[in-house]
Structure 1
């Protein structure tokens, strides 16, 4: 059973941002499933590491993820 990790990324403003975040997560977790809702600025990820590790991957690309429960 996988846990879905969700983040609000308020500085994700365009398709390029979404593609960058998706690529970074998949680079770290190739089996992950990444869903982006650009209008809501939400990133949802299945089959990845723990919340802090995934947030670090997104932060490394210059974004500020905020965990959503």
Structure 2
């Protein structure tokens, strides 16, 4: 399980964009959102899971950089 705080995530459109971005790297990833706290938990497949760094880079490129 990987968790990111995404300060720029604030609405349903953001949730869809984050989901689409993660699914480009892992189509079977399961995402759980806490929109009020602006966090996402990502459960990736164990056999071919993208690294947290790869996920963070992809999210940053889409305009949702994780907080440090």
TM-score band by shorter chain is 0.7 to 0.9
Q: Secondary structure at the match of 2:67?
A: strand
**TM-score normalized by structure 1?**
0.84
- Taking only aligned residues, the RMSD between alpha carbons, in angstroms, comes to 1.2
The number of residues matched between the two structures is 64
For 1:6, what is the secondary structure of its paired residue? Answer: strand
Give TM-score, length-normalised by structure 2.
0.85
Q: 1:36-47 alignment to 2 at 5 Å?
A: 36-47=33-44
Q: Write out the 4+ residue segments of structure 1 that deviate beyond 6 Å after TM superposition.
A: none
1:15-66 CA distance string (max 9 Å, x none): 1011100111012211211111111100110114111011111111111113
Where does 1:1-69 land on structure 2 (aligned, <5 Å)?
4-47=1-44, 48-66=49-67
Unaligned runs of 5+ in 1: none
**Structure 1 or 2: more strand by fraction:** 1
